[in-house]
Chains A and B, each alone.
Chain A
Amino acid sequence: MHGQAGAESIFRQFFRTYAMIEAGALSKSFGSVRALKDITFSAADGRITGLLGPNGAGKSTTLRILYTVLRPDTGRASVDGHDVVSDSLAARRSIGVLPHGAGLYPHLTARENITYYGRMHGIGNSALGRRVDELIALLDIGEFADRRAKGFSQGQRTKVALARALVHQPRNLLLDEPTNGLDVMATRALREMILRLRDTGICILFSSHVMQEVAALCDDIVIVGHGRVVAAGKPDEIRRQTGKSTLEEAFVAAIGTEEGLE
């Protein structure tokens, strides 16, 4: 019994040490608006880390810095040890990204949308064909794989965008409010997919303003409010930090509002 707990702690230690996504004291301003003041957290391999916070707290800005389309004013961030500013190409190679709103090319089919990203990652033709077929089966895209993306439902678009993000088998997956605009069935399917991906050992970081979703899905939670990390850790650690008995109360205590509760 004792040995198992020790192994568990060593295991966690390992992941803490080799955290795959790290953000240290990030700050970012847009004009006079200070979107991020001090964001520090890490996300480990084989775990789902949820970035939780009300709208405008800085979740998207944090993710955008991590997937290298924004540069932080101060602070550093890295993915698999690659600095997102000084070594952004290597960082980008290690991540798959599902940004806010799927953003497919309407004149290309689902398959072509996925294939295009595969080519951009430099995957050779035969390997790419196999990989795209796998993803189409895995994400249940088959039915609309060869239709143009123009008329896709939000759920279909999200599936294709997720397949596109996974085409190069990234070790890290970043998802910005992935369940936004999805119906109940599509949300369920996406959650199951995220859990299965976690079990393959990759690092998943996703943002949400819905506390219940984060509570149901995440191994680790980072609560963000007004551009700062206000609490972080496993759900029971957060309850302990805030001195509340439920995660919901902890969230309210941490943020100072009831926004984000449904």
Chain B
Amino acid sequence: MKSRIGTVFRKEVLDNFRDRRSLMSALFFGPLFGPFLFAIMISFALDKHVSEVDEPLQLPVSGADNAPNLIAFLERSNTEIVKIEADLDSARIKVRDGEHDLALIIPAGFGENFSAGQPAVVRLVSDSANNNTAKDVRRARALLDAYQRRMGMLRLQARGLNPTTVMPVIVEDVDVSTPTGRSVILLGMMTYFVIFSMLMGGLYLAIDTTAGERERGSLEPLLTLPVPRSDLIIGKILATCVYMITSLAVTLLAFSVSLQFVPLEELGMTANFGPSVVIRIFLLMLPFALLGAALMTCVASFTKSYKEAQTYLTVVMLVPTLPILFAAIRTVKPDLSYMMVPSLSQHLIITDLMKAEPIPLAYPLVSMGSTLLLGLLLTALAARLYKREGILG
């Protein structure tokens, strides 16, 4: 007897296509959510990054007249002095209440102490619990330190000493991250967005073809047809795959468009996201469609209702994040053994693709092979689950 997989497949694709709500979520909200959020986040990071360098530091100063030399130094160092009148207590309140982000208080005796070669105290009032002002505080602090070092050196030189005597150790920062490497921290999240939108794309169909069909009462007559149950489940899983793959394509397209509008280069990043990389990511992710569809179908087969299936599958959608999270925390380097782990392998390869680093051919082959194998195993499991009497609920 001829297989009915194709008949089931066509019906499920059509059925789901006509369900506007699920179609919108599968092909619109899911796939566009990632790129959109991504563009916003990068723009935001860009904004912060640029402001840190270019914008003058706004520094409220009380008693600026007590230290004209220091004020002149600050103004030369791209600082805009805002003169305020405050003593320590009132400045404390103003900073705590957010009227000022921070405040520098120069006491009246500053000049006297300074001239006498005594330590002259200035007070930098800040709220360390406020993350938004941390950057400004850091800048002010760095400037004051620089001023202090400079003054110290001048004094040593005035006394005929070599300033390096008081610098037994010098720390030099060597940052090895390349511009592309830096961008990967952000772009690494892309793998999850891609996986997430794929799962979203197939979510409704996976539920509808199992828990939904049972809840509507259409499963029972379906099972009385002279068609092996494995044909039914394979047709359904394949239909789910089609929506997941469509969702994948929409996501990648949206990413390649949205990344063009984000001036990554200003962040010192280059994202390698040309058409050839997009196509390679698409091919790499293809086997994941089967894995995701079969996994969701298996889980939904156990549930008693549409609602219950939705609840469980929301948890399932988090599972593929775990390996990515692991990779982010442990800074995992690509390795052949990691290629056996679905979602982790895709993440590592996509990250390398975007870094434009060379990838051994074995990596994508092992990744695709192991993902496909797990997908086939889960499909077989789904077919077994469908053969249980309990499937009728």
B206-242, CB under 8 A of A: which get 1 and which 0? 0000000000111111011111100000000000000
Contact present for A100 and B389 (CB under 8 Å): no
Docked pose: A98 CA to B220 CA in angstroms: 9
User: Contacts of B1 on A, CB cut-off 8 Å?
Assistant: 89, 122
B4 and chain A: residue at smallest CB distance? A120
Q: A69-B389, A116-B7 are contacts. A103–B227 as well, Cβ < 8 Å? A: no
B15 and chain A: residue at smallest CB distance? A107
Is A41's beta carbon under 8 Å from chain B?
no
User: Contacts of B14 on A, CB cut-off 8 Å?
Assistant: 107-108, 112
Docked pose: A17 CA to B1 CA in angstroms: 30
User: Contacts of B219 on A, CB cut-off 8 Å?
Assistant: 103
User: Contacts of A14 on B, CB cut-off 8 Å?
Assistant: none
Q: A70-B389, A93-B226, A116-B11 are contacts. A105–B218 as well, Cβ < 8 Å? A: yes
Docked pose: A165 CA to B221 CA in angstroms: 8
User: Contacts of A121 on B, CB cut-off 8 Å?
Assistant: 225-226
CB distance from B171 to the nearest CB of A (A): 67
Chain B stretch 1-24: residues in CB contact (< 8 A) with chain A:
1-2, 4, 7-8, 11, 14-16, 18-19
Is A131's beta carbon under 8 Å from chain B?
no
Is B327's beta carbon under 8 Å from chain A?
no
A98 and chain B: residue at smallest CB distance? B221
Is A71's beta carbon under 8 Å from chain B?
yes
Chain A stretch 216-257: residues in CB contact (< 8 A) with chain B:
none
Is B392's beta carbon under 8 Å from chain A?
yes
Contact present for A67 and B224 (CB under 8 Å): yes
A48-80, CB under 8 A of B: which get 1 and which 0? 000000000000000010011111000000000
B177-213, CB under 8 A of A: which get 1 and which 0? 0000000000000000000000000000000000000
In this complex, which of B8, B11, B219, B221 has the most chain A Cβ atoms within 10 angstroms of its Cβ?
B221
User: Contacts of B224 on A, CB cut-off 8 Å?
Assistant: 67-69, 92, 95, 97, 99
Q: A119-B7, A120-B7 are contacts. A69–B220 as well, Cβ < 8 Å? A: yes
CB distance from B16 to the nearest CB of A (A): 8
Is A102's beta carbon under 8 Å from chain B?
yes
CB distance from A39 to the nearest CB of B (A): 17
Contact present for B4 and A119 (CB under 8 Å): yes
Docked pose: A69 CA to B324 CA in angstroms: 42
User: Contacts of B218 on A, CB cut-off 8 Å?
Assistant: 103-105
Total count of chain B residues near the partner, CB < 8 A: 25
Contact present for B217 and A100 (CB under 8 Å): yes
Contact present for A161 and B221 (CB under 8 Å): yes
Contact present for A92 and B226 (CB under 8 Å): yes
Q: Which of B221, B228, B392 contacts A97 (CB 8 A)?
A: B221
CB distance from B356 to the nearest CB of A (A): 45
Contact present for A103 and B389 (CB under 8 Å): no
User: Contacts of A104 on B, CB cut-off 8 Å?
Assistant: 216, 218
Is A117's beta carbon under 8 Å from chain B?
yes
Docked pose: A124 CA to B389 CA in angstroms: 31
Contact present for B221 and A99 (CB under 8 Å): yes
Docked pose: A102 CA to B15 CA in angstroms: 18
Q: A105-B15, A107-B15 are contacts. A99–B226 as well, Cβ < 8 Å? A: no
Docked pose: A107 CA to B18 CA in angstroms: 6
Is A111's beta carbon under 8 Å from chain B?
no
User: Contacts of A67 on B, CB cut-off 8 Å?
Assistant: 224
A174 and chain B: residue at smallest CB distance? B224
User: Contacts of B217 on A, CB cut-off 8 Å?
Assistant: 99-103
User: Contacts of A117 on B, CB cut-off 8 Å?
Assistant: 221, 225
User: Contacts of B16 on A, CB cut-off 8 Å?
Assistant: 107
Contact present for A92 and B220 (CB under 8 Å): no
In this complex, which of A70, A99, A102, A165 has the most chain B Cβ atoms within 10 angstroms of its Cβ?
A99
Is A171's beta carbon under 8 Å from chain B?
no
Q: A107-B15, A108-B14, A119-B4 are contacts. A69–B226 as well, Cβ < 8 Å? A: no
Docked pose: A132 CA to B207 CA in angstroms: 30
Chain A stretch 150-181: residues in CB contact (< 8 A) with chain B:
161, 164-165
Is A106's beta carbon under 8 Å from chain B?
yes
Q: Which of B19, B223, B228 contacts A69 (CB 8 A)?
A: B223
In this complex, which of A64, A69, A71, A102 has the most chain B Cβ atoms within 10 angstroms of its Cβ?
A69
Apart from A112-B14, A121-B226, list 4 A-B contacts with CB within 8 A: A97-B221, A104-B218, A108-B14, A121-B225
**Would you give 14 A-B contacts (Cβ < 8 Å), ordered by A?**
A68-B224, A69-B223, A92-B224, A103-B216, A103-B219, A104-B218, A105-B218, A107-B14, A107-B15, A107-B18, A108-B11, A116-B7, A120-B7, A122-B226
Q: Which 7 A-B pairs have the closest CB atoms?
A: A103-B217, A103-B218, A107-B18, A101-B217, A97-B224, A92-B226, A93-B226
